[in-house]
Amino acid sequence: MRIVSDRSLRARLAALPSPTPRVVASGNYATPRHLLGLVDEALPAYRLFLLNAQPGVPSRDGVTHETPFVGPGVRDLSRLEYLPMRLSLVPRLFRRERPPDVVALHVSRPRGDQVSLGVEVNVLPAAIEAARARGALVMAQVNPTMPYTFGAGELARDAIDLAVEAEEPLASPPERPPSEVAEAIAERIDQLVTDGSTLQVGIGGIPDAVLARLHGRRGLGVWSEMVSDGLLELERQGALDPARPLVASFLFGSPALYEWADGNPRLSLRRTEEVNDPGRIARNPAMTSLNTALEVDLYDQANASYRDGRIYSGFGGQPDFVVGALHAPDGRAIVALPSWHAKRDRSTIVEPLAVPATSFQHSHVVTEQGVADLFGRSQPEQAALLVERTAHPSARESLMGVLDRLAGERGVGGTRRR
């Protein structure tokens, strides 16, 4: 790793042979903003690969964003290419279909001969390996505020070609108190989590509200894409098994979370290929996968990717963890959502989806109305339970009408439970 000036790095980038190089960069809240600013100044046109890009990333003409998980920073851009795939499969992209010309990292200060990817490991090790195999450029922003985390994000200094030193604070998601609906959903999910369970939680108010209710549990484990402040609080409350490391791919939280993570041997940040491997997930005892969705249809198909027919996020790790949890000993795959979308004034329990499903065959669907225990039920039974126990009261009658129509099309009796 050779430390260079901003000017030297821009010159190296300007000399790239491709007219539209592909730049793979740290995503979520680990985006190296100073480094990407240099990229944007040096390259008239390029393709930028980020997971869950946050506001403020380059978005001018000439920049094409490509990603399997769309973040709020690029959600409404016309120059966006959504790549539909499970997060566990994304590393394969870099070996053949979409090899990187540049990998732009955000790393800690060196400790000895190593630096750390800090709060985001995810798909970056695979991108680095693909870049090194084809002689592409690996560069980094060295930031003293980036925590040093252990695991697959620890890199030998010679794995990085060029680096610039630039201090900038790490961003965090905005703090939002849980809504009454989220609290009601969390109260129901609380009954599904037992001592000794292994937790995977997604992003959002509902997972945060659930974690806040688990402080009295004991022996919990963590095998999750991300670690949030809610999991940190479980650690502080003694709910987590001290003999089991917290396994994740990235951090998503406050400065206090980042400070706790710095040099913490309890935390193991690993590659996406390992953390999101359904086979690895299934080895965890009582694996409890908790994810959210925008809507769930009467076939128990969850849509967490599309809103109003347009891409909103993507598969992410939801299908990986749903499959893994269902195969784990005493595992549960839970999808939680409000029963009513207030802004759009409509039910979130819907007739068959008109957009691609993100996941399906969950063990439980939970709203503030109740819990639908679906595993092992027939399809008509699942549909009736979704209507009766999770749908908003104002939507139940029309949904029952849909059930009867679908049953008539199949040539079987109605699905109303009597």
pLDDT digits 0-9 by tens, 201-255: 988 889 999 999 999 999 999 999 999 999 999 999 999 999 999 999 999 999 9
Instruction: Give the pLDDT score at 417.
Output: 46
Region 280-291: mean pLDDT is 98
pLDDT at 418 (0 to 100): 38
pLDDT, average across residues 271-294: 97
pTM (two decimals): 0.94
Tell me the C-alpha distance between 354 and 348, whole Å: 13
What is the percent of the chain with per-residue pLDDT over 70, rounded to a whole number?
A: 98
List 66, 120, 154, 225, catalytic entry: 225
Reply yes or no on whether 225 is catalytic: yes
Q: What's the one-letter identity of residue 333?
A: A
Amino acid found at 264: N
Note the Cα 380 to chain centre separation in Å. Answer: 31
Write down all domains in the chain, each with its CATH number in brackets: 2-165 (3.40.1080.10), 180-410 (3.40.1080.20)
Q: What is the per-residue pLDDT for 410? A: 66
- In the chain, % of residues over pLDDT 90: 93
**Alpha-carbon gap, residue 197 to 209, rounded angstroms:** 17
pLDDT score of 261 more than 60: yes
Mean pLDDT of 81-101: 95
What pLDDT was estimated at residue 322?
98
Q: Is 267 helix (H, G, I), strand (E, B) or coil?
A: strand
CA distance 389 to 394: 13
pLDDT computed for residue 404 by the predictor: 86
pLDDT band (50, 70, 90) for residue 107: very high
pLDDT tens sequence across 110-169: 999 999 999 999 999 999 999 999 999 999 999 999 999 999 999 999 999 999 999 999
CB-based contact 220:199 (threshold 8 Å): yes
Hey, what are 379's tokens?
Answer: 């399809």
Mean of the per-residue pLDDT values of the chain: 95
Per DSSP (E only), the strands in 54-158 are 63-67, 80-82, 102-107, 114-116, 137-142, 154-156
**pLDDT value, residue 412:** 53
CB atoms within 10 A of CB 376: 8
pLDDT of residue 15 exceeding 90: yes
pLDDT higher than 80, residue 409: no
Rg (CA), the chain: 22
pLDDT of the residue at 77: 94
Find the mean pLDDT for residues 360-388. 96
Instruction: Please state, in angstroms and rounded to a whole number, the distance separating the CA atoms of residues 257 and 244.
Output: 19
